Structure 1
Amino acid sequence: MNEGILAGIRVIEIARGIPGPAAGLQLSEAGAEVIRIEAPGVDAEQGTALFSVLNRGKGRVGLDLDCDDERRRLHALLADADVLIHDFTPSRAAALGLADDALAAACPQLVVSAITAWPSRHPLAEALPRESLVLARLGLLDEQPGHRPGPIFVRMPFASWLAAWFCVIGVMARLIARRRDGRGGAAHTSLAQAALAPMSMHWSRAETPTPVFAKGLDKTTPIPLHRCSDGRWIHVHYSPDKAPWMAAALAAMGPEAVAAENAKYPPSHVAPNFGANRAIIATRPAQEWVEHFWQHDVAAQVAAPFGEIYRDEQARANGFVVMVDDPVLGRVFEPGPAYTTDPPPRLRGGLRPLESDPAWSFPRAQTFDGAPQGQPGSAPLTGLRVLDLGAYLAGPFATQLLADLGAEVIKVEPPSGDAMRRLERIFSGTQRGKLGATLKLGDPAAQLALAALVRWADVVHHNVRLPAAHKLGIDYESLKAINPALVYCHISSYGPLGPRKDWPGFDQLMQAACGWEVECGGEGRPPMWLRFGVGDYFAALSSVFALLLAHFQRQITGDGQAVAASLLGATLLTVGEAVMRADGSLSPIDHLDASQTGVSPDHRLYRCADGWLAVAALRPEEARALAALAGNDREAWFAAFSRETACECLTAAGVPCEPALENPGLSFLDDDGCRRAGLHAAYPHAVYGHLEQVGAYWNFCDLPLALDRAPPALGEHSHRVWRSVGLDEGQIQSMVAAAVTNP
């Protein structure tokens, strides 16, 4: 049996919560041997469904790292390991002998990924990694619309899951660079950097913005979540007006009544008849509507209860739901791998018992000889050539990350432009680092240029629906015939198998299907979309991980392959907070309260006299300190103090807290601490002049990132691209004359 692409790679994981363990899980199921180090004693996380899901199949070893002898045992393990993942603050890491310089000297082969709250150069670098506090301080809690004014507690821990993906991508990029440089090194990320990824489509500033760029897309834009006659809600993405029932009902209403209903809501960029749609959808049950919409290629989903997705036929067909025999939970359904490669990721059993002897279980297949193979010191993926044929968010953001990591990326879009260009700020947030060319795919006059691009590329990445990809001639078999060594990466909505494999889908629908819209609405309240587009970003990141796995293997075998990711598979992984028992019941989860302030008195938002404060007293001693300080009537205690005073009192008592900043706007781009931490990027743009955007998602310390090229204007580099892939001037002008590329 093939043990997986990362067979022979050895990983030490020392982390709590979601990011580190979720990263370790991805590496484990890709074939690496992962040993998880746990402190002695019973942790509150143990025994939960999430703990069992995230740590299944790993070796588990108890070590007291405050003990000199046991710390020496850890360092002995690191001497024979390839990767270390931890979530220690910089000072704690240094105290344990895990600072970057110390590890580089003692273990030059080791790739180290620290997942902290903030980057090491940020003023809050020593803060505990608590997602809600990071979101509060960044102002992201005030970016989410809610049922009331002010910051909203975000129930879905999206930054933690994103941080896990950023971690494993950084690890893979560093392992690839290690073959070139002959040494390991840092591949750090943080909750703050992960949380900022979705804000790349909102937080930017231009010297000479167009009106469309300046407007952006704020949180007041109405979201097409509609209540049906049976009290259930459905999320409909893009206009449903051409579906027969909707078209007939709109005609029956008449233009004046339609206009009157539409006037009740702000304009929607996805549904011109938002108000009328809402009134009409209220006349039929939810299931009838979604089945009708599905029959007529309208993307829609019922806002399902949390965990209901475990029953879904499509999710099971793709292995996104798997059955696991867990020694604590019994036989249960859990999230499965979110991507496909060859060989595929595989489950390695349920939760294993805690051991006292941290011995490696498998022979090491991928030895490290420390011999440089090329020029060290360049960006991790320097030399990788990527052809981006995607659109919207998930595909382009994935290739932007590859560009950040040093790959040369050519973005191809129609001469009329990517469909997302109409939302200029969002488009720009997924395109930096690329050379932009236009090409009318599917036109016979474009075939010569497409073949030249494919021969040039190491990787092709896109999220075009596969029936359309076949029509355009960009399916895997067609491109493999041109370049057999190609790594071909595709992102679908619902996965590559099953009855919905070719359906349209969007982030919003995956949030609905996986229960997050219900949970983000709060108990007893209407469901609410988490507007950060998380499904697109989960899918983008999981696709990059799959792609880098395939490239890592190709460096050994020389063989290309097709890999795949999906919005559904990547979003479903986050449902691992709960598992479904064999009898169909669901393990419990924490629910957001009706006021959308939090999940418990110890983990929530409180209103002070002059603003909101986020509290995350997640450890028993912190909860006791909060109770001793604020008493039983906590809301009254907070209301009596200014936010600054309350924060000082809590901090002195050892209770983690942060102000929940409001109306962040462009203040992020003016924050000097964020600038020094590398969280800003700036470059000249062909249309917008000086353009400022969200910056680095990793810190590789001795290796640079490539954050120096602005998003391309439409066709900005077409001529340059065609010459670089071998077309002569006559061939280029023939394409211009045929209108398959721009002049």
Structure 2
Amino acid sequence: MGDDAVLAGLCVIEVASDVAGWSAGLHLCEAGAEVLSIDPSRYRSPRVSEAQFEVLGRGKRRLALDLDTQRGRVQLQELLASADVLIHDLPPRAAHRAGLSDEVLAAAFPALIVSAIGAWPQSHSWADMPVRETLVLAALGVLDEQPGHRPGPIYIRMPFANWIAGWLSAIAVMARLLARARDGGRGGRAHTSLAQAALVPMTMHWSRAARPTPVFAKGLDKSTPIPLHRCADGRWIHVHYSPDKAPWMAEALAAMGPEAVVAANAKFPPSHVAPNFGANRAIIATRNADDWARHFWEHDVAAQVAVSFGEIYADEQAQLNGYVVERGERRQPGAPYHLERGPGPAQAQAGTDRAGQSPLSGLKVLDLGAYLAGPFACMLLADLGAEVVKVEPPAGDAMRRLERIFAGTQRGKRGLALKLGDPASAAALESLVKWADVVHHNIRMPAARKLGIAPEQLAALHPGVICGHISSYGPRGPRADWPGFDQLMQAACGWEVENGGAGQPPMWLRFGVGDHLAALACVFAVLLALYQRERTGEGQAVASSLLGAMLMTASEVVALPDGSLTPMAQLDAGQHGLGMGDRLYVCADGWLMVAAWTAAELAAFEIVTGATPDVFFSPRPVSEALALLRAAGVPCEPARENQREAFLDDPRHAVLRTRYAHAVYGELEQVGALWDFGDLPLNLGLPPPALGQHSRVLLREHGFTEAAIERLAEQGITVT
């Protein structure tokens, strides 16, 4: 790590016991920060293998301190005196006992940035719940949102909330660093939580409108068939969107005939991605998985075989992009983003005192993306205070057809309908690019170049601009320009197999996790580039990808020199959990999640439930089992079901929601704050824009007269 690394000279103290805190520290470490990881002698998640512990600790120094002793607490305070950042995952009461409450730290170290990753926000009534992902997911009702091979809540094998929380924490730290430079060196909170992280993908599903359209009201429920198809060799392939035009599929559909196709389709609920879902399924079963994959790839059909965990380490595309690296002869995940130095200095910006304003107040962002990952990244920047303009075609972003999902990626933006690529829109695009500090999109590069929005084209218009791009497979290698989607990266990285459970068909985690992780990684890279630009004046191109972001989560195993893999805990066939103390149990009137991680907790669990826990749980109501276990000190939570409306109504969750007046839907309620910066507010007051809602005012701001705007509308270049 050289002295020119972006975060060189930054000192970070990390006090963590799970993936969220460790990964937040790793992201900062790999950007150049010096990270000291404190082992607080508490516990470790049962899902964290020794291999993963080493991966998440790479590049850091380690020190064991017992924070239950006065000596350990004093030593930590001495270390904090020279630190810039503290990351910890202690609940508020535990943080207070360790001398790490916000009040104590702010008084002792006013320049220190503190990122606490709790189970729930500190203002939530459940803030002191144990910081264990499965308990949070159960209490929120998210386990019930995942389809499975059986009814009821499903144990989600991938610890997605921990991974998302790690990125949220790292982003919060970067936003606070930028604000600290602006605000005279004052530090402060940069908090998030597992609950807020778990709600990131629920922005797709948990919202409510006073005047919903039929499409918004329908949403995308968990019974929608997922195009994961069994092939002739017993392996499974995930196909996104209709494969009907691929020659093998077209020929087979024609051979079946219309009546047989209709009959095959009738065996399944309608699919929004594949109108011939049932017929596709029958046809795919006639050939081997690798043969189908090659054929689909040759004909621009997005598809991936659902492979076993760890196979991704041999993937050429992953290796060429540095998403797989060798450390001590072991293959493991690398950083999921790229930074490239830019061509020239930024335009001079007028200095403005913005103390007490949002962390990114004054930042200007041009969002040219579509679907989910690109727009969600820009929504995060808007939440942090950036002024964001969303540009979409006059026909609308392709994701608008899934209205609830679209709305979950668009708040905080003003919307401009503009037909990019048409000569008549060139002047507007040039003005917008010159206005922006950041231009961001997730359009495939061949199409981006045709539209004039590839990084080199943007830099030619504005040398100091930060260009952010999210691709499917990474910016290098033979698949750099291929289509890809979240589901396919879950398949490629082994998560669909693991989420299915031992011996069961693979299962897609339906929350769009790959899209959200890629968006978070790109936002982190954008903030690194902005931090660098403050020092050098240079613009940069930064990039992340669905593959890179998802591959980072595969760190539960690493590849050994002989090609074998380190072990990992596997989900049982019933999708209940990983062991007796980390498992869902069915009671007489519902489900209960147990997270007994320590030896003492597991011993207490065995005393209460006896040798056959199912016999203990099955006749008892959830409330009785919960009371008995909690009295014995066993961490557990009811696994709530059907919680969308309950989440939006429950006053305890008010801190996790937001609402505003929407141009079409009337009052719109959505997932709200993903961070807590204390004295620095978030920007959550602007609803998602209707198509072309702000076109006229934005074009006026960029020099167009009313007559010129009318001509653009008449030509189909804009919608007003």
What TM-score comes out, normalization by structure 1 length? 0.94
Equivalent residue runs for 1:248-327 within 5 Å: 248-325=251-328
> Which of 675, 695, 699 is the aligned partner of 1:722?
699
Match of 1:334 in 2: 332
Classify the secondary structure of the residue corresponding to 2:538: coil
Deviation at 1:733, TM superposition (A): 2.8
> What's the Cα RMSD here?
1.4
Q: Give the aligned residue type for 2:26.
A: L
Distance in 2 (CA, whole Å) between partners of 1:291 and 1:261 is 25
Classify the secondary structure of the residue corresponding to 2:439: strand
Is 1:550 matched up with 2:529? Answer: yes
Is 1:404 matched up with 2:406? Answer: no
Asked if structure 1 preserves the Cα contact closer than 8 Å seen for 2:25 and 2:87, the reply is yes
Q: Give the aligned residue type for 2:694.
A: H
> Which of 49, 60, 63 is the aligned partner of 1:61?
63
Please list the CA deviations of residues 364-411 of structure 1 after superposition, one character each: whole Å capped at 9, or x if unmatched.
xxxxxxxx9723100100000000000000001110011000000000
Classify the secondary structure of the residue corresponding to 2:257: helix
Please list the CA deviations of residues 156-186 of structure 1 after superposition, one character each: whole Å capped at 9, or x if unmatched.
0000000000000111011111111120000
Is 1:681 matched up with 2:658? Answer: yes
> Which of 562, 566, 574 is the aligned partner of 2:553?
574
Name the stretch that deviates more: 179-188 or 228-237: 179-188
Asked if structure 1 preserves the Cα contact closer than 8 Å seen for 2:49 and 2:556, the reply is no
Distance in 2 (CA, whole Å) between partners of 1:730 and 1:105 is 58
Could you list the runs of 5+ residues in structure 1 that have no partner in the other structure? 326-330, 345-371
Match of 2:25 in 1: 24
Asked if structure 2 preserves the Cα contact closer than 8 Å seen for 1:169 and 1:545, the reply is yes
Q: Give the aligned residue type for 1:76.
A: E
Equivalent residue runs for 1:65-104 within 5 Å: 65-104=67-106
Deviation at 1:42, TM superposition (A): 9.4
Please list the CA deviations of residues 325-344 of structure 1 after superposition, one character each: whole Å capped at 9, or x if unmatched.
1xxxxx31110000011379
Distance in 2 (CA, whole Å) between partners of 1:147 and 1:381 is 44
Distance in 1 (CA, whole Å) between partners of 2:4 and 2:126 is 41
Match of 1:363 in 2: none
**1:623/1:400 CA distance change after superposition, 3 Å:** same
Deviation at 1:18, TM superposition (A): 0.4
Match of 1:162 in 2: 164
Deviation at 1:729, TM superposition (A): 2.9
Distance in 1 (CA, whole Å) between partners of 2:382 and 2:619 is 50
Equivalent residue runs for 1:435-454 within 5 Å: 435-454=414-433
Please list the CA deviations of residues 418-471 of structure 1 after superposition, one character each: whole Å capped at 9, or x if unmatched.
000001001000000100000101000000000010011000000000000001
Classify the secondary structure of the residue corresponding to 1:684: strand
> Which of 192, 195, 202 is the aligned partner of 1:192?
195
Deviation at 1:109, TM superposition (A): 0.6
Is 1:652 matched up with 2:655? Answer: no
Q: Give the aligned residue type for 1:692.
A: E
Asked if structure 1 preserves the Cα contact closer than 8 Å seen for 2:92 and 2:128, the reply is yes
Q: Give the aligned residue type for 2:623.
A: E
> Which of 185, 193, 211 is the aligned partner of 2:214?
211
Q: Give the aligned residue type for 1:615.
A: V
Distance in 2 (CA, whole Å) between partners of 1:648 and 1:164 is 32
Distance in 2 (CA, whole Å) between partners of 1:44 and 1:133 is 12
Match of 1:712 in 2: 689
Please list the CA deviations of residues 595-623 of structure 1 after superposition, one character each: whole Å capped at 9, or x if unmatched.
11111111010011111000011111111
Distance in 1 (CA, whole Å) between partners of 2:400 and 2:496 is 27
Match of 1:125 in 2: 127
Distance in 2 (CA, whole Å) between partners of 1:251 and 1:19 is 51
Match of 2:345 in 1: none
Classify the secondary structure of the residue corresponding to 1:580: coil
Asked if structure 1 preserves the Cα contact closer than 8 Å seen for 2:367 and 2:378, the reply is yes
**1:453/1:47 CA distance change after superposition, 3 Å:** closer
Q: Give the aligned residue type for 1:288.
A: D
Deviation at 1:41, TM superposition (A): 9.3
Distance in 2 (CA, whole Å) between partners of 1:142 and 1:524 is 22
**1:445/1:635 CA distance change after superposition, 3 Å:** same
Classify the secondary structure of the residue corresponding to 2:325: strand
Asked if structure 1 preserves the Cα contact closer than 8 Å seen for 2:141 and 2:643, the reply is yes
Name the stretch that deviates more: 534-543 or 46-55: 46-55
**1:191/1:461 CA distance change after superposition, 3 Å:** same
Distance in 1 (CA, whole Å) between partners of 2:290 and 2:381 is 40
Distance in 2 (CA, whole Å) between partners of 1:215 and 1:136 is 24
Is 1:476 matched up with 2:459? Answer: no
Asked if structure 1 preserves the Cα contact closer than 8 Å seen for 2:596 and 2:634, the reply is yes
Is 1:379 matched up with 2:382? Answer: no
Distance in 1 (CA, whole Å) between partners of 2:297 and 2:585 is 43
Deviation at 1:651, TM superposition (A): 0.6
Asked if structure 1 preserves the Cα contact closer than 8 Å seen for 2:175 and 2:359, the reply is yes
**1:44/1:475 CA distance change after superposition, 3 Å:** closer
Asked if structure 2 preserves the Cα contact closer than 8 Å seen for 1:179 and 1:373, the reply is no
Classify the secondary structure of the residue corresponding to 2:283: helix
Asked if structure 2 preserves the Cα contact closer than 8 Å seen for 1:4 and 1:343, the reply is no
Equivalent residue runs for 1:601-612 within 5 Å: 601-612=580-591
Asked if structure 1 preserves the Cα contact closer than 8 Å seen for 2:44 and 2:597, the reply is no
Q: Name the % identity.
A: 63
Deviation at 1:267, TM superposition (A): 0.2
Deviation at 1:44, TM superposition (A): 8.2
Deviation at 1:57, TM superposition (A): 1.1
Distance in 2 (CA, whole Å) between partners of 1:233 and 1:585 is 22
Match of 1:15 in 2: 16
Match of 1:368 in 2: none
> Which of 666, 673, 698 is the aligned partner of 1:696?
673
Asked if structure 1 preserves the Cα contact closer than 8 Å seen for 2:341 and 2:541, the reply is no
Distance in 2 (CA, whole Å) between partners of 1:465 and 1:503 is 8
Asked if structure 1 preserves the Cα contact closer than 8 Å seen for 2:203 and 2:670, the reply is yes
Asked if structure 2 preserves the Cα contact closer than 8 Å seen for 1:222 and 1:265, the reply is yes
Distance in 2 (CA, whole Å) between partners of 1:43 and 1:297 is 44
Distance in 1 (CA, whole Å) between partners of 2:463 and 2:362 is 19
Match of 2:250 in 1: 247
Please list the CA deviations of residues 456-487 of structure 1 after superposition, one character each: whole Å capped at 9, or x if unmatched.
10000000000000011111111111110000
Match of 1:352 in 2: none
Distance in 1 (CA, whole Å) between partners of 2:581 and 2:89 is 22
Name the stretch that deviates more: 176-185 or 510-519: 176-185
Distance in 2 (CA, whole Å) between partners of 1:228 and 1:76 is 60
Distance in 1 (CA, whole Å) between partners of 2:337 and 2:221 is 32
What TM-score comes out, normalization by structure 2 length? 0.97
Classify the secondary structure of the residue corresponding to 2:180: helix
Classify the secondary structure of the residue corresponding to 1:560: strand
Deviation at 1:191, TM superposition (A): 0.3
Please list the CA deviations of residues 89-137 of structure 1 after superposition, one character each: whole Å capped at 9, or x if unmatched.
1111112221112111111111100000001111110011110110011
